[in-house]
């Protein structure tokens, strides 16, 4: 069963961010590595609306949670 109902591009759309592959890659490169002591929703680069969306995803364990987890993991790595 496919539990990924959304794409990474759609997640970025929901966040009101450019959602093409190059823009997503640039966003991740710009904001990583996110320090381990900062929760994803508390990162300084989110707007209030983006933060609220991410918080809601996590609290409600919505169908976006897998993609938010993936974004969190990508922002934690140091890159290549």
| Sequential DSSP letters for 6-53 | S-HHHHHHHTTS--SHHHHHHHHHHH-SPPTTS-GGG-TT--HHHHHH
Better-scored residue on pLDDT, 48 or 62: 48
The C-alpha atoms of residue 22 and residue 52 are separated, in whole angstroms, by: 25
Q: Three-class SS of residue 66?
A: helix
Q: Summarize pLDDT for 10-50 with one digit per residue, the tens.
A: 999 999 999 999 999 999 999 999 999 999 999 999 999 99
Question: What residue segments make up the domains of the chain, in order of their start?
Answer: 8-76
Q: Which CATH class is domain 8-76?
A: mainly alpha
Q: Summarize pLDDT for 40-49 with one digit per residue, the tens.
A: 999 999 999 9
Is pTM beyond 0.85 here? yes
DSSP structural state of residue 79:
-
């Amino acid at each position: 069963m496919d539990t990924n109902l959304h794409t990474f591009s759609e997640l970025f759309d929901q966040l009101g961010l450019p959602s093409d592959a190059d823009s997503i890659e640039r966003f991740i490169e710009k904001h990583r590595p996110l320090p381990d002591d900062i929760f994803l929703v508390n990162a300084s680069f989110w707007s209030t609306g983006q933060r609220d969306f991410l918080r809601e995803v996590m609290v409600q364990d919505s169908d976006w949670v897998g993609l938010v987890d993936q974004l969190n993991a990508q922002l934690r790595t140091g890159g290549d």
